[in-house]
A and B are shown apart, each in its own frame.
Chain A
Amino acid sequence: MIRLLLLVSLLAAGAVGVRAQHLLDWSAEEIRAVGQHGPWPPPPVQDPSNKVSGTPAGIALGEHLFNEPRLSGDGRMSCATCHQAGREWSDGLAKARGAVELDRRTPSLWNIGYLHWFGWDGAGDSLWAQSIRPLLDPREMNGGPTRAGELLRSDAAFACGYERAFGSRPGSDDERLLVDTAKALAAFQATLVSPRTGFDDFRDALLAGDRESASRYPLAAQRGLKLFIGEASCNLCHLGPRFTSGEFGDIGIPFFVRPGEVDPGRHGGLGRLAASPFNLLGKYNDDASGSNARRTRHVQRQHTNFGEFRVPGLRQVGRGGPYMHNGSLATLEDVIRHYSEVSPDRLHSDGIPLVRPLGLTVEQSADLVAFLRSLDAEALARPSPAPLCP
């Protein structure tokens, strides 16, 4: 009997011991670093360059236009063809497929409204300017410069939706209507905010000192998070609540797209930005103060921009893929292996390199993947949009 009681006591003590180990020790500096990745969700987007940003009528018009194949040259492709709600607002392909196969992957639209630079190369300085590019690009929707205007004028529902959003009937200025189409598209896309995740619950509990709630976060994810903000220094670029600086970097992905041809990345994007009539220094910026154009006014094109691509946010990352700007890595495990084994020679850094071979163990790699997957959550199913003008 005594032995039985002793055994029960030991088991009970063991259970308590296991429970206590569900929360790793977190230093004040680590808690501060974890706290910087929240809170989530952020306040809704308000883009001063877009007068229909955040307006119900602009968002409704934008959602209908987003799903509208008549904006494309052959009438068969809409924004939603590549940016699919059921695929984390991407398409699951390594290379985007418009009128032809492209050289880069379709980026997810989650949390897109919070960025300052758009596209893998940052050729767009507003979400609406970026939304014009696929409409016109012959390799993508190939819609041509007048198609949006013709649709807004000829379709009664779109004409009504336009009037509700912009305050007047669609006029005869096709370029203006193209821009307004893009601004409505941007207003809708800016509402695509990813859901709260297990990481967010952990982060909030850790900051609040709620050890019991924090201990529900899996140990592997905790270890991965410690690596992420510590030894691996992933948070130098994947920082803040969206896990991105929104800027650009060269992480050692080959930039040859085919023999003898390279993707110049940010270097090419800055050239296109400067040449675009739709950038924030142009007449279509609705922000009379011009203060939102500071980045555009001061950004400098440097030779180091060659081969740089935008740092993607990491929320919902485990539900997406393939990965990298060119879709060259199939899984999260491949991504971690890349950072573990990347060649320093390829990165030719003459200072302390921001990207270096991490030399991770199998366990560390698995922990980092566990952490990244804790940034995923199931999003609520999106209902079909209500009619524009019932």
Chain B
Amino acid sequence: MRLAAALLGVLLATPAWADDCPLDLGRGTGWVVFSDHYLMAFRSDPLRIEVGEPFALLVNVCTRRSGAAELLAVDANMPEHRHGMNYRATIVAKGNGRFRAEGLLFHMPGRWEITFDVRAGSESERLTHDIILK
């Protein structure tokens, strides 16, 4: 029941235009998600997500113009089965665009879609990322 090691080994590929964004997660691993307006990097803590075990996400987020952005909420669901987690994550701001989402737990193997609600000023957006838990 381990997240494929290959997924965890994805190197943080910081785009050249994101030099001023705080995307360094400190361990050289993680995922980058971006849209027209936002850049975001995240990794799990612990690095290996196990089915049925709680984990946290370390999230760094900013706008593509290197402006400050805020992480409002993190959630996850299994689109095929139309159900979410049995747990609700809480967000703690760590400063300088860094956040920790605590209390996630995937109770089944399969495809999970993680959703990140981010905001800069009055503009908010939902970013998503899929991971497959085996």
Contacts and interface: CB of A to CB of B under 8 A. Distances in A.
B79 to A, nearest CB: 7
Contacts of B109: 236, 239
B82 A349 contact: yes
Interface in A237-257: 237, 239-240, 245-248
Contacts of A297: 90, 103
Contacts of B87: 295, 298-300
A350 interface: yes
B1 A239 contact: yes
Contacts of B103: 294, 297-298
Contacts of B1: 36, 239-240
Contacts, number: 65
B133 to A, nearest CB: 11
A354 B81 contact: yes
Interface string B78-105: 1111110111111000000000001111
Interface size class of A (residues with CB under 8 A): 20 to 34
Interface in B55-98: 78-83, 85-90
A32 B109 CA distance: 13
Contact of B105 (A248, A298, A349, A353): A298
Interface residues of B, number: 25
A89 B89 CA distance: 36
B108 interface: yes
A302 interface: yes
A295 B107 contact: no
Given A295-B87, A298-B105, A300-B88, A239 B82 contact: no
A164 B36 CA distance: 65
Contacts of A236: 108-110
Contact of A237 (B54, B83, B108): B108
A294 B86 contact: no
Nearest to B88: A300
A237 B1 CA distance: 12
A208 interface: no
Contacts of B134: 32
A230 to B, nearest CB: 14
Contacts of A390: none
Contacts of B81: 349, 351-354
A304 interface: yes
Q: Which of B78, B88, B89, B104 has the most CB of A within 10 A?
A: B88
Contacts of B78: 351
Q: Which of B82, B89, B90, B104 has the most CB of A within 10 A?
A: B82
B127 interface: no
Given A236-B109, A298-B88, A298-B90, A247 B52 contact: yes
Interface string A111-123: 0000010000000
B54 A294 contact: yes
Contacts of B88: 298-300
A350 B79 CA distance: 11
Nearest to B87: A298
Contacts of B82: 349-351
B108 A245 contact: yes
B3 interface: no
Contact of B51 (A240, A295, A305, A353): A240
Contacts of A354: 81, 108
A245 B52 contact: yes
A7 B105 CA distance: 63
Interface in A310-367: 349-354
A21 to B, nearest CB: 30
Nearest to A247: B107
A159 B78 CA distance: 52
A297 B102 CA distance: 10
B51 A298 contact: no
A299 B86 contact: yes
A352 B52 contact: no
A298 B102 contact: yes
B80 A352 contact: yes
B90 to A, nearest CB: 7
Contacts of A298: 54, 87-90, 102-105
Interface of B: 1, 51-52, 54, 78-83, 85-90, 102-105, 107-110, 134
| CB-based closest 10 A-B pairs | A298-B103, A351-B82, A247-B107, A300-B88, A298-B87, A351-B81, A294-B54, A352-B80, A350-B82, A245-B107
17 contacts: A32-B134, A237-B108, A239-B1, A239-B52, A245-B51, A295-B105, A297-B103, A298-B54, A298-B89, A298-B103, A298-B105, A299-B86, A299-B87, A300-B86, A351-B79, A351-B80, A354-B108
Given A240-B52, A298-B104, 4 more contacts: A236-B109, A245-B51, A349-B81, A354-B81
